[in-house]
Amino acid sequence: DADVTQTPRNRITKTGKRIMLECSQTKGHDRMYWYRQDPGLGLRLIYYSFDVKDINKGEISDGYSVSRQAQAKFSLSLESAIPNQTALYFCATSAPPSNEQFFGPGTRLTVL
């Protein structure tokens, strides 16, 4: 079974719609991350959470919000989706003292 799962795997939506992407993990890690991947740009950090009561903005948080519902769950919301938010979205987890991050399979989001 996958340690980090993301739902949905693919989503097509329209401009202005509210979208939620969900991430669950069974690794028992405290730290969770949301990244966005665009062609030629690598992965960019949107938000991260170091425990249930901790939420931090990453380098591209505008237009996004997150919720850490439990240690195992971290969701990403687009309150009003726009076409330039079309991208691959990845969730990741880590556990200090290791810096290694474990990634989910990704969600492909298309905003029309």
Q: Which residues bind other proteins (CB under 8 A)?
A: 4, 31, 35, 40-45, 48, 50, 58, 90, 92, 94, 96, 99-106
**Shortest CB 103 distance to other proteins, Å:** 3
Q: Which residues of 23-33 are buried (b: 16+ CB within 10 A; e: fewer)?
A: bbbeeebebbb
Cα separation values, 7 from 28, 70, 73, 99, Å? 19, 16, 11, 25
In whole angstroms, how close is the CB of 105 to other proteins at the nearest point?
A: 5
40's tokens: 């030629």
C-beta of 39 vs 84, nearer to other proteins? 39
Query: Look-up: residue for tokens 């969701």?
Result: 75
Residue closer to other proteins, measured from CB, 78 or 91: 91
Sequential DSSP letters for 90-103: EEEEE-TT----EE
Minimum Å gap between C-beta 17 and other proteins is 25
Nearer to other proteins, 76 or 92 (CB): 92
Q: How far is the CB of 34 from other proteins (least distance, A)?
A: 12
